[in-house]
Amino acid sequence: MSDPLVIGLDVGGTSSRVVVTDLNGVRFGTGRGGGGNPVAHGAAAAASAIGTAIDAALAGVDPGRILAAVIGLAGGTQMRKALDEVWPDHGITCPVRLVGDAVVAFAAGTADPDGTVLIAGTGAIAGQIVDRRLGLISDGHGWLLGDRGSGFWLGLHAVRAALADLEEGIGTSLTSLIRDKLIGQSVFGTRRELVSAMIAAAHAEPPVTLSRFAPLVLDAAAAGDPVAKNLITEAAGYLLRSTAAVRGPAETGPIALAGSLLTVATPLAQRVREELAARWPGAALVTATDGAAGAAWLAALSLDPSAPHPSTVRATGS
pLDDT tens string 258-317: 999 999 999 999 999 999 999 999 899 999 988 999 999 999 999 999 999 988 876 555
- Can you tell me the distance from the alpha carbon of 199 to that of 11, in angstroms, rounded to the nearest whole number? 30
Q: Where are the beta strands (DSSP E) in the chain?
A: 5-11, 15-22, 27-34, 66-73, 96-99, 115-120, 124-130, 133-139, 255-258, 285-288
pLDDT 10s digits, 16-64: 889 999 999 999 999 988 765 655 666 667 777 788 888 889 998 998 8
pLDDT given at position 113: 95
Per-residue model confidence (pLDDT) at position 39: 58
Classify 31 as helix, strand or coil: strand
3-state SS assignment for residue 118 = strand
DSSP secondary structure string for all residues of 192-225: HHHHHHHHHHHHTS-GGGGGGGHHHHHHHHHTT-
Burial group, residue 140, by CB count within 10 angstroms (0-12, 13-18, 19+): buried
Using 50, 70 and 90 to split pLDDT, how confident is the model at 318? very low
pLDDT per residue as tens digits for the range 96-123: 898 988 999 999 999 999 999 999 998 9
Sign for the CA dihedral angle at 236, 177, 220, 288 comes to: positive
What's the pLDDT score for residue 86? 76
* Overall fold of domain 5-110+289-312: Nucleotidyltransferase; domain 5 (3.30.420)
Predicted local confidence at residue 60, as pLDDT: 87
pLDDT bucket at 82, cuts 50 / 70 / 90:
low
Bridge partners for 11 per DSSP: 16, 73
Output the pLDDT for position 184: 87
CB 229 within 8 A of CB 266: no
DSSP line for 47-92: HHHHHHHHHHHTTT--GGGEEEEEEEETTGGGGHHHHHHHHHHTT-
Residue 37 confidence (pLDDT)? 65
> Is it the case that residue 78 has pLDDT exceeding 80?
no
**Which of 317, 155, 127 has its CA nearest to residue 235?**
155
Are the C-beta atoms of residues 204 and 145 closer than 8 Å to each other? no
The topology under which CATH files domain 112-283 is Nucleotidyltransferase; domain 5 (3.30.420)
So what's the pLDDT on residue 202? 95
Up-side HSE of residue 310: CA atoms within 13 Å toward CB?
26
Contact 264, 240 (CB under 8 A): no
User: Percentage of the chain with pLDDT > 90?
Assistant: 65
Mean pLDDT confidence for 68-82:
75
Identical fold between 5-110+289-312 and 112-283: yes
Strand 124-130 relative to strand 115-120, pairing: antiparallel
Domain boundaries, the chain: 5-110+289-312, 112-283
What does the angle CA 172 – CA 227 – CA 149 come to, to the nearest 5 degrees?
130
Higher pLDDT, 209 or 14: 209
Rounded alpha-carbon distances, angstroms, from residue 310 to 9, 45, 120, 169: 14, 30, 21, 50
pLDDT single digits (tens) 118-164: 999 989 999 999 999 999 999 999 889 999 999 999 999 999 999 99
Strand partners, 31: 18
pLDDT at residue 220 is higher than 90:
yes
Q: Is the pLDDT of residue 228 over 80?
A: yes
